Structure 1
């Protein structure tokens, strides 16, 4: 019998010594209850991944290669380890303190090795012989080599920080390939058709045909979903079907189909745990494996379904590394992380078929946790609301995925993996339905949603009571406005009546006003027939005599008759015949008209005007002025000022 003993204290083992109960969950995990360490669970899938023992300076794996029955691993400042699969045996190369960014092997067990910022070395694995070539010897621009590849014809391709070089003499000398221009070269691959593919950081992808010397460049075209999604490309792989897979820096995973000439992009929107992806390998079942910054991914190209593995599944770390992926001849897959090397047999990786139940576990309003009934909640206006939810699959809970949406706000589902929360700020009034779905770590979704109805109440000014108040206020305003309108109409009618009365009163003075106007223009016509030439001259003389003596209060009818050499009775008959006025009214009207002219000029006070036109009593002057013109001298002056202001 073969027994395994799990003791507390070691990573991945039980949490206590005194085991009280064991129980198997529906998803295959084993729950362990202890009396001295609480409760823990054991994930059988975690036994799938085997971590290669390493020393403290051999953890950050940068590159891998396979030669016969050996696997070589290049480390950041840790040299090379040669590993015999299936055993714990490994050996270190004599280049133990260098940084290896790229490795490749040959059929003669001699491996060209690119060494960042140092040189190019070839190592005989069995003899331990190392031959180092420096940049000046090889004809390359610098020693910072990031891409190294031996094609099927034995030609070595080398990429540094700026250029691509090619060597046909087993790496003794290199020629610069001007066709590629200047770019940060990250990986090189020869496809089944003999094309050379080059991945660059910042300049996209190159495809070069050595037979025809033709070059095709693939770059990101904004708005074109069939182009590459980013120009930051870090790795190239080809699967058994001839599809080319490109890892990128924050651009997801790219797949190129040579038959259609189009790219397809996989990102977090398609379920990836992260958009930083690393080199791809294919297993015997044609599944695609690649690392990310948040775990290992297994892609099933036929269904586009994903399996995600993390440290919870036994990986040494969630972050993988550039070009550190290898499928050995025995089917074992080797992957390099920033915390060591891991291997696994993809044939025994079991898929989690458990459909996890999904629950809404918490709700927050204005940042505070709030209890919620199952039949829904009512929240005040402009509430900030958040939700916690969970899919109960513990095989690898960190790889569970969620999709949520708020009906009435979100048009599409929001997908998330690391976070199982959702928040909405200042929801407008209305009825909403929060919906959430969940999947296990292998992408098996539960189609039964967890839901919660949410009603956001309107503000007080949009409630029924507020609208009733608005109706009352508007109705009251309408009534008040109507009353004011009616009062104004009544006032207008009264004013019109007063104006009519004034018009009737002034009609009686129409003859006198006509006479005043005639005086103003220096002409006077009799009542009836037109005035003769002699009468016009007489009238002009009469008006002139009166105007010459306006300031003389004693100037009367007798004085005017004497000035005209006429008797009082003759003067009276003549004025009566010409103007239909008495001699006294004739003199008075001329005085008042001149007073009106002086008031229009506005330069003299009323008392002064009274003296100027021959009135000794201001009160008598005001009385006869009002009788003649319908207004007092003061009102006449004010009306005159108003007319001037309006004009």
Structure 2
């Protein structure tokens, strides 16, 4: 008969398995400091809340209430004594204190409720207006707790008791906490799955609300410590209750008010151990991983829960050392745990879905003082062969953190190159020394050289690749093949250039890269085909679908389809900015792993999904990255300065369906106006002076905001999409004309997969007064008036010009006024005849001037001037001169008098002055005029 296994052994084994499971879970836990910590108005955070849209809200100490969209913070607070330069501050004089104790979101109305040192307030998310609860009992009272019940009402706790409010902020109930002569205060509200509302109070008391009598009834709590928080395990019907000094209890609630008391079971894992672990602030159960998170007064504790049993889990691998001052925990919709804190800064706990195993190889630092410098890594069972530039070939065993150096372990060790390759058909690895090929094996940590072969005809081996029971060897100018047993070495081809890396397909085709000598293909019979040449090709890999991927040192990536002989440059999706590429690999899922100095990118060519691992990531923590190698079908090893990591290919990148991400417009800034987009707001009016505006987007993925890309198009103004780089979330529209526009928006998820575009907002740029219809009507009337005025003025000017022309013609074209000219009144004709006669009468007198002329006409000089201007368009001087010149022209034409004498007879003192004036009027000199007239007279006689 078998001896029965002791129960103690079974229990210890169970605890061991639980511990192992918990440790594995702990290894996958990541801690991230609040990404927007530097934007907080004050560092300490009391509470964290995620609203139904996905915005995160922070209750700060002295800084007000903050809304976080993943990129920027908006601060709701009292504006007094605070700078507006760093934040989007929504100031309200109704807020009397910026010290926020608590926050909650209403179940029915989209209100954010928050309690302060001086009252209760809420933010209406329709328009983000701030309202104070206008009840004197709450207006100047400290509000410690605010709780949103499932029926849409709000509960608060103050020094004056409990208050019950409807969704509009009206107090519908006030309850004193003077229970049986004992004054207590409420510290925690809890509503269970049956909608029973309880208040945990000081004085070791739990009160249950009776909606029938609208009162609180005391439930029996037979435990010496105050209950501080509560969690209900729906599956078991039990409650985990945190206490002030007694740790966490497993409890069963009374079935009814007539039941004796809560049934309490003390859990030994939470016995106070001279620390603050027994003083519990609150707790959260993570049903996905079976983890219980406990916020205590001195630290954050973690327990793994299985079948109601709790096993402590060490947090040393992911939490900073030392005690912490933290507040109430919060779990978001993605199962992340948010830990508001004083010290350290507020942080977020998430589970590592990327499945990264990091190996810092501490043994290297202990022995040499230097961190590991992993230039090449090959995995063999539970051991890792590492080639380091400083220490050459080493063997590392992570389970025991032991390391062995080949140059210290092997007698007459030949220093090797970094070209090491796993021997897949046997134990050990292949390594290179000049033109020699060596096979290294080990027994535990003892390293041996199995055998050494020389490649005849080669000076240096530059690349290795094992495939199909053959080892392919690249050299400075040729490619060789060798059986993995070492029976033969054959030269496949020569004239290749210096091979940097080579690979082989399942069909035995060889592809290699040889720097500037190109990207080449070698057929089974050794024929070389150059696929491309010129770039500095450095790495090559073959994907499961037969596509050949090649990379260059200059930052270009190419895909080659052998069946169609098509080479395509893939940089638009593969890289960010043409970074220098060190290496690339293709795993069995078809994902391409691209390594640069600063990051490793896993890329799925079928849907352009990707993820990025930076060397500075907390899961990686390398000074730089140097190598990446496929170590298993869907695992790669990336090595560098300070560690090497094993990363599993992500199945999330294989989702070929469109991303379900729907970005939101979080705010619009136009001039000095900052507009929050409310929950039901789909239209925004921009004033006439707000033609320049900034629109900010978000997908509310706070932990991965830097990996999200956006694209937008303003329909009605733009026809093409504008794509923003990852991490940029702002669109600028300048000089936007009046009109109605629809903002079309789309975004990627954290893996770079684009969601479907959709209309997210309608922008209406209102017209200025000068752009309205009545302004255009006025413009039309003014234009018509101007046209009519111009036509009238043009006609009037034409009439005046015609009159002037005719008057000049009458006055100047002849010396005599025609009696039949009816264009002048009778008295004007008489005046002109008299004026002409007077000038002719004094024609030879050079001293006859305007004064004598006006006197002879019995007129003042001014009246004479006006009269002649009206009748002839000439001044008196011009009138006298024109008659003298006309008379002179007649004498020159009719007589043989010399020019000098004609000048004297017509009243000109000198012939020179006479000639000048004559030419100005007739265009020719007097002598020329005389000749022309004589010629005309002779011609007429001849005819």
Query: Into which bin does the TM-score normalised by the smaller protein fall?
Result: 0.5 to 0.7
Deviation, 1:48, is 1.9
Instruction: Write out aligned runs for 1:487-636 (5 A).
Output: 487-496=797-806, 499=809, 593=893, 598-599=898-899, 604=900, 608-610=901-903, 636=918
Q: Structure 1 residues 138 and 490, CA, compared in 2 at 3 Å: closer, same or farther?
A: same
Q: State the Cα deviation string for residues 209-267 of structure 1 (Å, max 9, x = none).
A: 251423232359xxxxxxxxxx4543222233433233455656544333333345544
Which residue of 380, 394, 419 maps to 2:728? Answer: 419
Q: State the Cα deviation string for residues 580-613 of structure 1 (Å, max 9, x = none).
A: xxxxxxxx999754778755xxxx5xxx5456xx
Which residue of 690, 713, 732 maps to 1:405? Answer: 713
The answer to whether the 8 Å contact 1:249/1:275 transfers is no
* Aligned twin of 1:104: 421
Residue 746 of structure 2 is aligned to residue 437 of structure 1 = yes
* Aligned twin of 2:333: 26
Deviation, 1:207, is 0.8
* Aligned twin of 1:583: none
Higher strand share: 2
Q: Mind listing any 5+ residue stretches in structure 2 that lack a counterpart?
A: 1-14, 30-298, 301-314, 819-887, 929-943
* Aligned twin of 2:262: none
Q: Structure 1 residues 59 and 449, CA, compared in 2 at 3 Å: closer, same or farther?
A: farther
CA distance in 2, matches of 1:637, 1:274: 82
* Aligned twin of 2:375: 62
* Aligned twin of 1:639: 921
The answer to whether the 8 Å contact 2:516/2:533 transfers is no
Instruction: Write out aligned runs for 1:269-288 (5 A).
Output: 269=573, 276=579, 278-283=583-588, 286-288=589-591
The answer to whether the 8 Å contact 1:51/1:342 transfers is yes
Any idea what SS the aligned residue of 1:376 has?
strand
Which residue of 450, 473, 480 maps to 1:157? Answer: 473
Any idea what SS the aligned residue of 1:479 has?
helix
Structure whose alpha-carbon radius of gyration is higher: 1
Q: Structure 1 residues 609 and 386, CA, compared in 2 at 3 Å: closer, same or farther?
A: same
Q: Structure 1 residues 477 and 348, CA, compared in 2 at 3 Å: closer, same or farther?
A: closer
CA distance in 2, matches of 1:426, 1:76: 59
* Aligned twin of 1:326: 630
The answer to whether the 8 Å contact 1:358/1:450 transfers is no
Deviation, 1:295, is 5.1
Deviation, 1:268, is 4.6
Deviation, 1:318, is 8.8
* TM-score (norm. length: structure 1): 0.62
Any idea what SS the aligned residue of 1:180 has?
coil
The answer to whether the 8 Å contact 2:604/2:653 transfers is no
Any idea what SS the aligned residue of 1:418 has?
coil
Residue 496 of structure 2 is aligned to residue 188 of structure 1 = no
CA distance in 2, matches of 1:412, 1:41: 35
Any idea what SS the aligned residue of 2:750 has?
coil
Instruction: Write out aligned runs for 1:297-446 (5 A).
Output: 297-300=601-604, 303-308=607-612, 315-317=619-621, 321=625, 323-328=627-632, 332-337=635-640, 339-346=642-649, 358-364=663-669, 370-371=674-675, 374=681, 375-378=683-686, 385-394=693-702, 396-407=704-715, 408-409=717-718, 411-424=720-733, 431-443=740-752
Q: State the Cα deviation string for residues 392-432 of structure 1 (Å, max 9, x = none).
A: 22454433343333332350251532333334555566554
The answer to whether the 8 Å contact 2:395/2:405 transfers is yes
Instruction: Write out aligned runs for 1:166-181 (5 A).
Output: 166=480, 179-181=495-497
The answer to whether the 8 Å contact 1:292/1:318 transfers is no
Aligned residue pairs, count: 521
The answer to whether the 8 Å contact 1:50/1:342 transfers is yes
* Aligned twin of 1:17: 324
Any idea what SS the aligned residue of 1:398 has?
helix
The answer to whether the 8 Å contact 1:110/1:122 transfers is no
The answer to whether the 8 Å contact 2:493/2:527 transfers is no
* Aligned twin of 1:125: 441
* Aligned twin of 1:209: 523
Which residue of 194, 199, 205 maps to 2:513? Answer: 199
Q: Structure 1 residues 26 and 234, CA, compared in 2 at 3 Å: closer, same or farther?
A: farther
Residue 352 of structure 2 is aligned to residue 45 of structure 1 = yes
Q: Structure 1 residues 38 and 471, CA, compared in 2 at 3 Å: closer, same or farther?
A: same
RMSD of equivalent CA atoms = 5.4
Q: State the Cα deviation string for residues 6-27 of structure 1 (Å, max 9, x = none).
A: 9789674269635544433222
CA distance in 2, matches of 1:349, 1:314: 21
The answer to whether the 8 Å contact 2:386/2:395 transfers is yes
Any idea what SS the aligned residue of 1:27 has?
coil
Q: State the Cα deviation string for residues 547-569 of structure 1 (Å, max 9, x = none).
A: xxxxxxxxxxxxxxxxxxxxxxx
The answer to whether the 8 Å contact 2:670/2:686 transfers is no
Higher mean Cα deviation, 194-203 or 310-319?
Answer: 310-319
The answer to whether the 8 Å contact 1:28/1:43 transfers is yes
Deviation, 1:50, is 0.8
* Aligned twin of 1:520: none
Any idea what SS the aligned residue of 1:476 has?
helix
CA distance in 2, matches of 1:257, 1:136: 32
Residue 562 of structure 2 is aligned to residue 258 of structure 1 = yes
The answer to whether the 8 Å contact 1:51/1:340 transfers is yes
Q: Structure 1 residues 377 and 120, CA, compared in 2 at 3 Å: closer, same or farther?
A: farther
Deviation, 1:279, is 1.7
Q: State the Cα deviation string for residues 58-81 of structure 1 (Å, max 9, x = none).
A: 555433334566432334545334
Any idea what SS the aligned residue of 2:395 has?
strand
* Aligned twin of 2:166: none
Q: Structure 1 residues 387 and 334, CA, compared in 2 at 3 Å: closer, same or farther?
A: same
The answer to whether the 8 Å contact 2:478/2:492 transfers is yes
Any idea what SS the aligned residue of 1:416 has?
coil
* TM-score (norm. length: structure 2): 0.45
The answer to whether the 8 Å contact 1:291/1:321 transfers is no
Deviation, 1:434, is 3.5
Residue 541 of structure 2 is aligned to residue 237 of structure 1 = yes
Instruction: Write out aligned runs for 1:475-486 (5 A).
Output: 475-476=785-786, 479-480=789-790, 482-486=792-796
CA distance in 1, matches of 2:472, 2:593: 26
Q: Structure 1 residues 241 and 380, CA, compared in 2 at 3 Å: closer, same or farther?
A: same
Q: State the Cα deviation string for residues 262-282 of structure 1 (Å, max 9, x = none).
A: 345544547x66665642232
